[in-house]
Structure formats: structure tokens, C-alpha cells
Chains A and B, each alone.
Chain A
């Protein structure tokens, strides 16, 4: 019995495989945050006046706020004045138009990550808007998207090219006063993605962004805004890795999705930021506000996330189902190992009639990690015939980790139907032995069993992303797969 447990412990205590630091010349603000820093940031980015006003409004509100403390997380105090709020590659005045112009060292970084752009360019159907630290350095497949009328660019560029469009939608789903981390993001965000799918357009390819935190001690504050106009469809992929670091790096992203009548957004995330070492030192603090608003009738939004990284994950991708017959989905795999902590889940807010939502959450805890599902299903008084189905499964690997489930349900409409199912299980030594007896190594066996547990979520991911996600689980669990 104890030898198997030991084996599992050995398997899950492998080193983070993607830890390395790229040496690039970086222009970085000195640490600290005040109105002057924000003004300077906005000026460097040559933003329209409304953005500076928006940022300052957010900052002033943020100063009145306190960090939320309701999550099942132990967080060391964060000194927001010790963080630098801007960092960019120096040569940002002439942005490269092709890979030839990109710093070879950066290309090397991507290669180490297994996501070489030159290969991805050839991969049919995937456009890459790579964010390296705070400034986007490469955007591909623009031509094809232009033909379809799709706008897919860094949000800093959108502020130059389409300021009215940004102004119309930015902050309308997650207002600058929403929560502590969202307000901070609104004040200091440096870049992110902007997507606009015009009426009646089915985006001809999957849109993909790889984020990467790089410069030391630099908080990353991405801002993503996606609008799917009437009768349109888009699938968006977001994936992340980070180099090995000792100090904690703060990350507070905001993602806003707006879905109009008969439109659909599918948003998939694979998150693999540095989780800290096996003693819980270092690692990314990840405080994310992701929210989608189904504004039109018959609109649909689907969040799929695979979370294997970060020391701390605080993240609740949510759906506000305003339009009648609108649909919200949340598929999640959250894996925590060593001293990682995750408090993640979703909010499904039913407002329109005949709205429906599905929540499938798979939490895996290994090592001494804590994994919490926190979900809210809220049915308003006008949401006639609203439906929700929630399935929430936890898997424990070893005997020193924890799984917690906090489902909140608020129903104000008598015709609503809300279902919640939850299970907790352990990888049994019998399962492990069975697989070994068939010739599989213990690490392959754990990886296979965990992947099996997550299957319902993986099948929601685009094919190549699903493969990557499975490999990631393998790496996170034992470091040899993929």
C-alpha cells in the first residue's frame, strides 16, 4: 500500500519542464503604481483620451477596494507598489511584419515551448497573435481574416484602428468597478486580444493566442474583448506557459465576451503557468475575471478550460444569459499538484426565458495541493423554464491533498430545473496495479487514468488543443509524457 503511494508521490514531484528565461532587452517601468504611471503607460501606447479617463476612473475606484478573501486560498500579501506595470521589447517602434524580423531569441523561446510560429503558420486554420510580455510582436493570417471581415488584433492596435468599436464594448460586461482584480486590470492593462466577428460571418479559422510571462517581477494584465455580432460564430484558443522564477508573479486578466442574437463563441483555454517548485516557492498568482454576456436571443457561449499551472488560481468564467433561449456551457479540468491552490468554477446567471446551462467540472488534486470548485447558478424571476445541469467530480491522487466543492444555487422562478451531481474518488492502487500488470509504467498509468477522468471535458476542446491538453496533464503529473 505505502509503496504505491510513494510511487505516486515520486511521479508527481517532477520538475517543471518549461522553465527557462529568455534574455531580451526590455524597457521596464520602475516598480510602483500611481496616476502618473498610468498616464505614462497610456501615453506610451498612444491611446485615445477616453482610455486614459477609463484607466484613471478604474484606478481611483481600485484604491477604495480590498482584495477578496472569501476563496479557499492561502495567499501571501501582495505589495502592489513593488510591481512594475510596464515592460516591452525595445524595438516596438517598428513592429515586425514577418518572422524574419523577429528576435531569433524569441523564436527560440517558442521552439522550446513546442509552439514554433513558423510551423504554426503552416498549420491550416490557426492564426496566432503571440503576446510576449506586454507588447504583441507577431500577428499572422491577417489577410485571410481580413477577407472575411474578421478583426483579430492586439487590443492596443484596436485602440488605434477601431477606437469607436472598443469604446462601445470595453467594460460593458466586466465594468471597471467589478472586483479588485478587474479594477486593477482596467487601470493598468497593457495588451491582449481584440476580436470582432461581423454579422453573419463564421470565422474561417480558429483564433489562437499564446501568452507568456517573461520579464522578472512584471505583473501581466491582459485584456481580451471578443464580440460576436448577430448570426456569427468564432472559436478562440488561449494557451499559456511561463519561465521558471523564484518571486511570485501577479497575473490579473480580464476577458469579456459579447454574444449577439444567434451567435456563438467557443472559448478554450489551456493554462500552464509556472506553478512554483515542489516546496511551493515561486509560481504565478493568477486572478482572472472572465465573463460572457449572451445579449441576443438564441446565443451561445461555451467556456472550456484546462488549468494545470499557477501557484494560485482564482478564476470563475461566467455566463450572463440575457437573451431568450440562450445557452451557457462551462467545461473545466483543474489539476493542482505540490502546494498549488485552485479556487475555480463558474457563474451561470439565467435572466432570459428558456435559458439553459451546463457545468462539467473535473478537479484533480495531487501532492499537498488544494482544489476547490465554487459555482453559482442563479435563476432570476423572469427566467421561465430555465435549466441547469451541474456535474462536479473530484479525483484525489495520493493522501495529502484536498478537494472542496461549494455550489451556490439561487432560484427565483418556480418553473426552473436545476440539477447538481458531485463525486469524489481516488486513483485506487488496484487501478494502478491493473495497468502495470498490463505492461504500462506507473506514470503512464496515472496519466491514462487522469486523462480518462477528464474525457468529458477534453472532447469539448478543438482536436489539436485536446492533444496538447492531454500532454500537459502528463507533464504536470509526471514530466515524461508529451
Chain B
């Protein structure tokens, strides 16, 4: 489903990613861990199409197409979803309005009928229950005045409604207390399926206690320096990133 080959990315003149290789098959959950400044967020931004990154070498193939050629909204409509590390606020635009507009633009692109207001409401109410979100939340402006936990839950709610094929979670666990973390993790687990893949980017191991990945990769100095199963995360937690860097050196 996703194939990253020898990906080199600069920000300005500065190389950030220096030859990343990663293969993700349908239904797999991959975790990318790494120290600050390793290029984790750069990877998520490049995959989702944010401006300001310069790919100098390598390729990214998604569902047999060149992902890097597509505008960000086309990637989204083809099923690439990014749960933001810092979800933005959009004053005056209600959450439910954004959700419906987003879902319908995706459905339209995919040649499906737009969902009418009643069906949409019923659908949203189901998902809201699942994520233990207050319904009032839907009518508030997007992320405006939301707590850190609410913002992250809101990202997962959006994923639940838009039903992406590839879900990139960028430090979704940061800033969450343990209760909020559990709720978010339950939400993520409920979205797991044989067709849907996940790329979870995290600095800490604790999210992986609740969302057990199939593979763990360590990103350091712009490269994946070590890959393994879930046990790698535990090892990292015990030994620290210093250990990986020493191994890689």
C-alpha cells in the first residue's frame, strides 16, 4: 500500500531525511520512534503533502501511484489521513460543518453520493459515542478552546468519519494524560482493520502499550536505523535512544 524508497528531503538547504526506506502493507500498524529532531514530523508532513519540503531523491508510491505528485487534498481524497500533532483552530467553523464538508468532498471525488444532513448526523453520533465525546463538541468551532486531549480525540473522530486507508498519527499521544491516552488508543484500535494501515509517530513508548504495533522502526539522523517487532519499543524505553545511536554508529 505504501512504499517509501530512499527518500531524501531538505528543508531549505538542510537535509532532514537522508534515505528513508519503509514498506507498509494493508492492515499493518507501523510505529516510528526516534529522538527529537530525527525527522519524524518531516516524514509525516512529506507524506501528507505539506508545502515547504523539498524532496531531492527517492520515491513514495501509494496504491501504485506516485504520492509525491499529488496535491494534499487529492492524497486525502485517496485515503491518506494525517492526525496532526498540533491541530489548528478554525474560529467560527463548527466541527460538524468541517466534518461534513470534508466527508462529502472525499465522497464526491470517489464518485459516491454526498451524505445528507440526517444520515450524516446519525453516523457522527455513533462515532462520537465510541470516542466518549460530548455531542456539544460537534457544534463548537473546530478545536477552538479545546483542551489538548479534546483536540487529539477530535483528530481520531475525523479519522473515524473519513475512513482513510492510510492513517498517519503524528505524536497523537503527546500532551495526553493517561485517561485521555486510553480513550484515544481505544479509538485507534477500533479503526484497525485488514485494509487500513497505520503509521504511528511517537517519541514515547507508552502509546504502544495500548496500540500494539506490528512493526517498530527507529528513526535517527534522517534514517531508519533499526527495525523490529513490538519488543523493540520496550528495549528502547529501557535503554534510551543513545543505545540505538551507538548501535547504528
Contact = CB atoms under 8 A, between A and B. Distances in A.
Contacts of A451: 92-93
B73 interface: yes
A396 B88 CA distance: 17
Interface in B95-136: 97-98, 101-103, 105-106, 109
Interface string B74-101: 0111000110101110111100011001
A2 B52 CA distance: 8
Interface stretch (B30-38, B43-51, B199-207): B43-51
Contact of A433 (B50, B109, B141): B50
B92 A455 contact: yes
A331 B91 CA distance: 18
A431 B86 CA distance: 11
Interface string A428-467: 1111011111111110100011011111100000000000
A438 B158 CA distance: 8
A431 B90 contact: yes
Interface string A1-12: 111100000000
A480 B142 CA distance: 24
A255 to B, nearest CB: 29
Contacts of B49: 436-437
A405 B52 CA distance: 33
B92 A453 contact: yes
A448 B98 contact: yes
Nearest to B106: A439
Contact of A444 (B50, B52, B101, B141): B101
Contacts of B87: 434
B69 interface: no
Interface string A406-448: 0000000000000000000000111101111111111010001
B82 A437 contact: yes
Contacts of A455: 92-93
A469 to B, nearest CB: 14
B110 to A, nearest CB: 10
A433 B90 contact: no
A114 B82 CA distance: 39
A456 B93 CA distance: 11
B76 A438 contact: yes
B231 interface: no
Contact of A439 (B52, B97, B102): B102
A24 B86 CA distance: 58
Contact of A438 (B51, B86, B102): B102
A1 B51 CA distance: 6
A452 B86 CA distance: 20
A454 B81 CA distance: 29
A439 B51 contact: no
Contacts of B71: 436
B74 to A, nearest CB: 9
Chain B: interface size category: 20 to 34
Contacts of B88: 428, 430-431, 434
B72 interface: yes
Contact of A437 (B76, B101, B141): B76
Contacts of A429: 51
A251 to B, nearest CB: 31
B84 A3 contact: no
A436 B73 CA distance: 5
A448 B48 contact: no
Contacts of B156: none
Nearest to B80: A437
B76 A434 contact: no
Given A439-B73, A439-B102, A434 B84 contact: yes
A444 B76 CA distance: 14
B76 A448 contact: no
B117 to A, nearest CB: 15
B85 to A, nearest CB: 11
B105 A452 contact: no
Contacts of A444: 101, 105
Nearest to B102: A438
Contacts of A456: 92
Contacts of A438: 76, 98, 102, 158, 162
Residue of A430, A431, A434 contacting most chain B CB atoms (<10 Å): A434
Contacts of A4: 51
B105 A439 contact: yes
A440 B101 contact: yes
Contacts of A433: 50-51, 72
B199 to A, nearest CB: 14
Nearest to A433: B50
Contacts of A453: 91-92
A448 B71 CA distance: 19
Contacts of B141: 452
Contacts of B105: 439-441, 444
Contact of A448 (B50, B75, B101, B158): B101
Interface of B: 48-52, 71-73, 75-77, 81-82, 84, 86-88, 90-93, 97-98, 101-103, 105-106, 109, 141, 158, 162
Interface of A: 1-4, 428-431, 433-442, 444, 448-449, 451-456
Pairs A-B, 3 closest by C-beta atoms: A452-B92, A452-B93, A455-B92
30 contacts: A1-B52, A3-B51, A3-B52, A428-B88, A430-B86, A433-B50, A433-B51, A434-B84, A434-B87, A434-B90, A435-B90, A436-B49, A436-B76, A437-B49, A437-B76, A438-B76, A438-B98, A439-B76, A439-B77, A439-B105, A440-B102, A441-B105, A444-B101, A448-B90, A448-B98, A452-B90, A452-B91, A452-B141, A455-B92, A455-B93
